[in-house]
Amino acid sequence: MQCEQFTFYQNNLLKYDIMNIQKIMSSLEAKHPGESEYLQAVKEVLLSIEDIYNQHPEFEKAKIIERLVEPDRIFTFRVTWVDDKGEVQTNLGYRVQFNNAIGPYKGGLRLHPSVNLGIIKFLGFEQVFKNSLTTLPIGGGKGGSDFDPKGKSDREIMAFCQSFMTELCKYIGADVDVPAGDIGTGAREIGFLFGQYKRIRGSYEGVLTGKGLTYGGSLARTQATGYGLLYLTNALWKDHGMSLEGKIAAVSGSGNVAIYAIEKAQELGVKVVTCSDSTGWIYDPNGIDVALLKEVKEVKRARLTEYAAAKPSAQYFAKQNGEHGVWQYKVDLALPCATQNELDIEDAKMLVANGVTSVTEGANMPTTLEATKYLQENGVLFVGGKAANAGGVATSALEMSQNSERLSWTFEEVDGKLKGIMETIYANISDAAKRYDATVGGKTDYVAGANIAGFEKVVDAMLAQGVC
């Protein structure tokens, strides 16, 4: 059947041109002005897959790129709720269902004032390739709202989540689209969203992941993205004949990903000396105290000033211009776990000058294109977020499996599967890069490897399913 499919597409292929990245980007910029993050993500992928794409004229005949860079559908809706003062508030909600060629749409819900359609499209586009890399049958999607949960009471959070789900429930389902948590959307928010879905639809199903353990959640889901980042980083270092034991790391962020990346790094013998939040950063030469960080961020939901006040060896620095000062220190590995475009060219120059060996991304696209290029050209081992932070969505897919089977696996079972998935992801992106001789700065180009490996699976499915 696959041979017949390719034979169909190979008829008269010579009349089709090779990929014209400039033309594609010009068209997208005209259609989607101002969506800088989305356009940046698309360009990065196109540059990586250009060579493989041009070796397969059947891709151009089927207009794979034109279909792949535009989402299947976009939902934008009003979210109206009442605050504790009795005042009516209105936010915008989004759900982008990007591509379901290999499985139901899957991706988180981000609640943050910076959220707009361009950011959600960027995240959804990245999710397509990330989910493909997990080897699990899940497509790509993303959603969220410009609602800010910080400083809101539990009742206000519930009011917003119930209003948000009242609209979102029309477009999702266990075999259609399965949202999850993201920035601003933790266990509390997922609980309120799940309860409203169940109440409206009258159906108890695995429609959300990141749920509480008492109603269908998975052990190790909370730790998954941070742990997965370190499992892949460890595989990277081992492949290059090095050990993480005794090394020093810089981490940005202090949310879920950062906290558990720090925890797993310490288990592997790494001393982590930094973390950050939206107002400042901590430098602790004695190493970050994970238990204290969890208390400050997960229990008190407080700022890092409280961490510094409780830890005499820690120094707190307030941000002046939104900078992430964590990259100025001499470290062996850098783990950006905060947000998009947080690590810029100046940060990259500081890391290289201080002799950093690897940069592996815990957040989605936290390194600018210019910084990525500089790091790679200077011999730094660099693995982007599509591969490095796929542990979260991989474990979400494992939660979906448990829900379908009506089973709950032990922490050790889930963690073992996660470790295997992340090591497989590293092996696959390394193999893809080597097959297409993708190198930069004398080292394997793992960014290209991730894009190629993710693209191959999605495009094979798209071709097999015809023009749809």
The residues carrying an active-site annotation are: 142
Other C-beta atoms lying within 10 Å of the C-beta of residue 302 = 13
Beta carbons within 8 Å of 290's beta carbon, 6+ residues apart = 259, 262, 263, 266
Is the CB of residue 361 less than 8 Å from the CB of residue 383?
Answer: yes
Residue 448 half-sphere exposure, CB side, CA atoms within 13 Å? Answer: 22
Which string of b and e fits 376-413 if b means at least 16 CB within 10 Å?
Answer: bebebbbbbbbbbbbbbbbbbbbbbbbbeeeeebeeee
Strand, coil or helix: 157: helix
Question: What is the CB neighbour count within 10 angstroms for residue 99?
Answer: 26
Cα separations in angstroms, 412 against 186, 404, 408:
22, 20, 12
Q: Are strands 140-145 and 88-99 parallel, antiparallel or unpaired?
A: antiparallel
Token pair 């932070």 is at which residue?
A: 389
Element (H, E) at 259: helix 256-267
Residues in the chain: 468
